[in-house]
Amino acid sequence: MPKKPATRVKNAWTSPGLGAALIILLTVMAYLPAMGNGFIWDDDDHLTNNPSVLSDDGWVEIWSSLEASRYYPLTQTSFWVQHHLWGLRPRPYHVVNIALHAANAALLWVVLRRLKVPGAWVAAAVWAVHPVNVETVAWVTELKNTQSGFFFLLALWLFLQFEDESHPQDYMLAFLCGVAAMLSKPSTVVLPGVILCCAWWRRRRWTSIDLLRVAPLALAGFGMSVLTIVEQRHHVAGEITSDWTLSVMQRVVLAGRAVWFYAGKVVWPADFCFIYPRWDLQVHSVVGWLPLAGLGFLATALWLFRRERWAQAAAFGIGCFITCLLPVLGFLNIYFFRYSFVADHFQYLASMGLVALVVGAGTMISQRAGERGRLLGVIVSAIMLLSLGLSTWAQSHYYHDDETLWRATLSENPDCWLAHTNLGRDLSQNGHLPEAIAHWEQALRVKPDFSEAHYDLGVALARSDKLPEAIAHWEQALRTEPEYPELHYNLGVALARLGRTREAVEHFQHVLRIDPNFAEAHYQLGMALEKVNNFREAAHQYEEALRTKPDLVDAQQRLARLRSAP
């Protein structure tokens, strides 16, 4: 009789409901600071200034066009729904992201339990509070990670349940969730590969049935992969830059180095950075090939010891890890590679496999050491969860606003030209122009051909009445952005102020070839034409300015004066 209450307590603590509730509680506690964060960096592109999200019928463009901020139609639809529910207040968006991450951690635990991975609960809890995921959870744009991860894990769990119980509805739901994951973020096309890894882990072999079962998802993934390649080429093609022109050898070197980088951030969670330094890929140096050689050595060791339980567990964990990383290892062009070849949010799903492997290995070691070993395992797990949770708590503050984020980035990566440029913009908007100019100049010392820094610095110099210097930076920017209307417009205004009217006219005309509805360009062209006594064409330009912007008072006055002239 005295033993029954203890048995009930043990069952309660190992029950799915309570286990999931504890994971969710840990996640929410670790990410509490993120709930007070605002929008950062490209949240405007995906949400706050995205016409497809903000308009009532924008969902049509979201599903039918590549122009709606990349092709993540289900994620963009979620943004569209949220915007119609609570507008552009940032807190609800962060709450949704945190809630999805917590749900993902709970789902991971359920999946690991079904796979009979040792230490499943601890692994899921560690992944939930691991600081490598802060970039995903604290950044509103990365709803595409948390939402796709939810459908990915749900599909995996349903697929495993179908294997165990053979209910056709589980297979159909798994397929639908897999497609939903791909429509939320295309990198989840690796789902069939992860399912095959799980099938191997369960039976230590693959059968033709395994291949047939994943075939529909693989076909859907192939279609999504083709669409993603087209989409990335569409956006990359709009940039005149050599940032994506990597040779085959460079891509192979990049892949080997990236795998070790991501593994290192999971095993030794320190020195996280929003934009990591962009590597110099040394294909003609032995050093550049060492990471790939290390992977080859690891693969050889696992093959030689393939009958050992530890080697099989390592093969499963590392196999899932690398499979999930495949889309971001550099074999395909990704827009973000312009800034860095690696990013924490790239390994949101991949880190699950490595965390499960490390925690599972630790659990097995502690269990074999008897009662003292198990007690030590509990203590180590508690310390690990506490330290990881505190690190996540601290890092969540870095995503509070743009200025905080870029300063934190520069503290880890002082040569990040993107951070210098964007911090300069924030400082300029807040009235700190000299400091802003210093950051733009530093950005150009690191990356002399960065057109955005040239443009911003030119604007700042023009505001300081340093027109010749401003013109020099804008002309430099035009070498990489020849069809940027604002550049031509600002150049035209500055040239007109310096009395170089004919050059100004050429730039205003170029603006209007790009954007015929640029009202201010029509107005400025009209003034320039007046200076060369072309009054009839000047009046026409004022009329065009008022056609697109009827409340342009200066154009109204100038047009009235021309019409009243004898």
Percent helix, strand, coil in the chain (nearest 5)?
A: 80, 0, 20
- Give the highest mean pLDDT range of 7-11, 230-234, 546-550: 546-550
- Measured CA to CA, the distance from residue 140 to residue 147 in angstroms comes to 11
**Burial category of 285 from C-beta neighbours within 10 Å (exposed 0-12, middle 13-18, buried 19 and up):** exposed
- Which of these, 524, 487, 518, lies nearest to 505 by C-alpha position? 524
Confidence at residue 370, expressed as pLDDT on a 0 to 100 scale: 82
- Is the pLDDT at 5 greater than 80? The verdict is no
For residues 27 and 129, the answer to whether their CB atoms sit within 8 Å is: yes
| pLDDT reading at 224 higher than 90 | no
Give me the CATH code for the 403-564 domain, please.
1.25.40.10
Task: Reply yes or no on whether the pLDDT at 168 is more than 50.
Answer: yes
Domain locations along the chain = 15-39+88-402, 403-564
Among candidate residues 181, 125, 175, 120, the one with its CA nearest the CA of residue 150 = 181
- Tell me the pLDDT tens digit for each residue of 402-417: 999 999 999 999 999 9
The predicted-structure confidence for 69-120, as pLDDT tens digits, reads as follows 567 899 999 999 999 999 999 999 999 999 999 999 999 999 999 999 999 9
Band of the pLDDT at 2, cuts 50, 70, 90? very low
pLDDT one-digit tens code per residue, 266-298: 999 999 999 999 998 888 888 889 999 999 999
The pLDDT assigned to 247 comes to: 87
Mean of all residue pLDDT scores within the chain: 91
Which residues lie below 8 Å from residue 357, measured CB to CB, with a gap of 6+?
Answer: 313, 314, 316, 317, 318, 321
Closest CA to 485 of 537, 454, 521: 521
Q: What is the pLDDT of residue 110?
A: 95
The larger pLDDT score, comparing residue 5 to residue 279, is at 279
Question: In the structure, what pLDDT confidence band is assigned to residue 14 with cuts at 50, 70 and 90?
Answer: low
pLDDT for res 68: 61
pLDDT of the residue at 476: 93
How many whole angstroms separate alpha carbon 520 and alpha carbon 530?
A: 15
Instruction: Tell me what the mean pLDDT of segment 317-341 comes to.
Output: 93
Confidence of residue 226 (pLDDT cuts 50, 70, 90): confident
Determine the average pLDDT of the residues in 373-400. Answer: 94
- Could you give the angle at which helices 451-463 and 467-478 cross, rounded to 10 degrees? 160
Q: List CB contacts of 534: < 8 A, sequence separation 6 or more.
A: none
User: At residue 122, does pLDDT exceed 80?
Assistant: yes
pLDDT per residue over 443-462, tens digit each? 999 999 999 999 999 999 99
In which band, very low, low, confident or very high, does the pLDDT at 566 lie, cut at 50, 70 and 90? low
Model pLDDT, residue 229 = 76
What tens digit of pLDDT does each residue of 494-507 get?
999 999 999 999 99
Give me 429's structure tokens: 């908007």
pLDDT of residue 328: 94
How far apart CA 557 and CA 523 sit, in angstroms, is 11
* pLDDT attached to residue 496: 92
pTM recorded for the entire structure: 0.90
